[in-house]
Amino acid sequence: MKILVAVKRVVDFNVKVRVKSDGSGVDIGAVKMSMNPFDEIAVEAAVRLKEAGVATEVVAVSCGPAACQETLRTAMAIGADRGILVECAQELQPLAVAKLLQAVFMREQPRLVVVGKQAIDDDSNQTGQMLAALAGMPQATFASQLQVAGDEVIATREVDGGQETIALKLPAVITTDLRLNEPRYVTLPNIMKAKKKPLEVLTPQALEIDVAVGLTTLKVAEPPARSAGVRLVDVAALVAKLKNEANVI
Amino acid sequence: MSVLIIVEHDNQSLKSATLHAVTAARECGGNITLLVCGWQCEPVAQAAAKVAGVARVLVADAPCFADGLAENVAAQVVTLAGAFSHVMATATATGKNVLPRVAALLDVAQVSEITRVVDAHTFERPIYAGNVIATVRSSDPIKVISVRATAFEAAPLEGGRALIETIAAVEDTGLSRLISRQTIASDRPELASARIVVSGGRGLGSGAHYAALLEPLADKLNAALGASRAAVDAGYVPNDYQIGQTGKVVAPELYIAVGISGAIQHLAGMKDSKVIVAINKDADAPIFSVADYGLVGDLFEVLPELVAQLG
């Protein structure tokens, strides 16, 4: 079966972002960008299903500016067979991405779609669920285990207070939790090979999707800073502060 | 304004998480309706009707809601949403699972994890792991919003006298089914709502050390236990202990971070705590930049002493 994996290009998780001085946005002009960590897990999961003989083809898709081609090449270096870029200069919000992914889903007709549970830039945690809704598919969010059995996919989900295991009818959408797998490092030979893999570029217009934004960001700001704390010399001083100054114990 | 809130429950009791969404809904103004989708969930409906500030409780009672599967719950919410200006849930694993599905079916954007209601159309929410606060306005006819629990007080469980109305349940979508559910039993306060949280990181070295050093302290303080991602990945504790951007977000009165360096990802989950204590042997650990009280020292010596001195 064919698996579609969605990947997003985001500010690298190690970068501490800065707000632009006029509050209009976050300054990402010169910072390092990488594949969203949850999406790496999604690609790894799809490639492992291929290695296990369950999947026949893994297609990576990304929506955004031309630079997302790098992210797709990374996905192909991990093991995706080909890439699709939906090139779009405007800001894309989760609902627009879900609509674009649904259009790609209709063209490609995969049996399984795997996406990260959230992107570490907008922290929305919406796209997978929205795609599932638009395509009328079942969803397993926050998956930490995955297994395809016949015409079902069995997923264990991380939920508050424990785990639950659900079975979904294929085609289905999976969103990946951190614990699903440990993504492999890409090797130089695989990076070279990825350069030769096919990469198709589409546009929202070609897919006939309106990507107009639903939410307007009025401003962004740094969160209020915490006042500087004190270093204490020993446990007795700490206990005294907690009891007498902070009054929390 | 009229707000529909999806109630989180286990068919027997109302989860306190829902109460935080009620407070956020009151800040938007207007009537508040709670929706209980469940199976044999009469006790939940009764409890929901007593929540202060709630005007109406809608109950859809059917076997297809027994396991709270997103496909069925979202389908039910969508049949009702047209009559409301806002649809809300608390941003728990359950809320995050269902709400975007509802938003997409309604063809509207969702505002995730709001931390402040500016007005009925404008909200604040953290992005980039809590390092940036964005103010966003929704122009959609129905605003679909998930609420960060720690940013809003819980509405009182008593004082309301809402009308309970039974509504017709949607048909089972048949797309998914529950196979099993494993809940981790604990006598401690729930992490997300505990007054004190004691949290451990990689510095503890092993699960046995985590238990031996942190449990006595948590017992003494009646605290919930948490952990950094490093401690979870290393297998010291189950992953629902994880505090951070990808785990739980807590804002207790007292947060004690033991052997935690304080990566951005972890700080996103705890930096709104009222008082933060850091115990770490590395004087340069980033956790000290947010700690009100810092103690540089070997946790294997400091913790037993701390427990002893708390008497």
DSSP string, A79-105: T-SEEEEEE--S---HHHHHHHHHHHH
Percent over 70 (pLDDT), chain A: 100
Name the strand (E) or helix (H) holding A169: strand A162-169
CB B254 within 8 A of CB A249: yes
Q: Residues of B48-57 as b/e, b for ≥16 C-beta within 10 angstroms? A: bbbbbbbebb
Residue of B nearest to A96 (CA): B109
Q: What is the pTM of this model?
A: 0.96
Residue B161, Cβ density class (10 Å: 0-12 exposed, 13-18 middle, ≥19 buried):
exposed
User: Which chain A residues in 118-177 lie under 8 Å from chain B, judged by CB atoms?
Assistant: 118, 120-134, 137-142, 144, 154, 157-169, 172, 177
Residue A69 class from Cβ within 10 Å (0-12 exposed, 13-18 middle, 19+ buried)?
A: middle
Q: What angle do CA B10, B12, B17 make, to 5 degrees?
A: 50
Does the distance separating the beta carbons of A246 and B127 come in below 8 Å? no
CA–CA separation, A44 and A212 (whole Å)? 32
* pLDDT value of position B51: 98
Chain A CB contacts of B196 under 8 Å are: 248-249
Residue B85 in contact with residue B106, Cβ under 8 Å? no
Whether residue B253 contacts residue B273, with contact meaning beta carbons closer than 8 Å, is answered with yes
Contact assessment for residue A132 and residue A138, using Cβ atoms and an 8 Å cutoff: yes
Q: Closest to B140 (Cβ–Cβ): which among A159, A178, A214?
A: A214
Distance CA A192, CA A73 (A): 10
Across the interface, whether the CB atoms of B109 and A93 are under 8 A apart is answered yes
Give exposure, A14-51, as e/b (b: 16+ Cβ within 10 Å).
Answer: ebebebeeeeeebebeeeeebbbbbbbbbbbbbbbbbe
Residues in chain A with CB shorter than 8 Å from the CB of B137 are 215-216, 218
Band of pLDDT at residue B257, cut at 50, 70 and 90: very high
Interface test with A, best of B99, B116, B274, B293 (most A CBs within 10 A): B293
Q: Do A160 and B92 touch (CB under 8 A)?
A: yes
Spell out which residues of chain A touch residue B295, defining contact as CB-CB under 8 Å. Answer: 231-232, 234-235, 238
pLDDT, average across residues A109-127: 98
Contact B179 A154 (CB under 8 A): yes
Cβ of residue A214 closer than 8 Å to a chain B Cβ: yes
Tens digits of per-residue pLDDT, B69-82?
Answer: 999 999 999 999 99
**Per-residue tokens: B53:** 């500030």
Q: How confident is the model at residue B246 (pLDDT cuts 50, 70, 90)?
A: confident
Average of per-residue pLDDT across B21-36: 97
**Chain B nearest CA to A6, separation (Å):** 17
Would you say residue B169 has pLDDT above 90? Answer: yes
B-contacting residues of A 12-71, CB under 8 Å? 13, 16-17, 19, 26, 38
Report residue B186's pLDDT band, with 50, 70 and 90 as the boundaries: confident
CA distance B100 to chain A (A): 5
**Cα separation of A2 and B112, whole Å?**
31
Q: Decide: B142 and B82 in contact? Cβ < 8 Å.
A: yes
Contact check, Cβ <8 Å, A214/B108 = yes
* Residue at A53: amino acid letter: G
Average pLDDT, integer, range A93-98:
98
pLDDT at B143 over 80: yes
User: Which amino acid is it at A84?
Assistant: I
Residues 6+ apart with CB under 8 A from A189: none
Contact B60, B35 (CB under 8 A): yes
Are A232 and B294 an interchain contact pair (Cβ–Cβ within 8 Å)? yes
Q: Is the pLDDT confidence value at B59 over 90?
A: yes
| Position B36 pLDDT exceeds 90 | yes
**Closest residue in A to B96 (Cα–Cα):** A125
Q: Find the residue in B nearest to A164 (Cα).
A: B181
Compute the average pLDDT of residues A96-113: 98
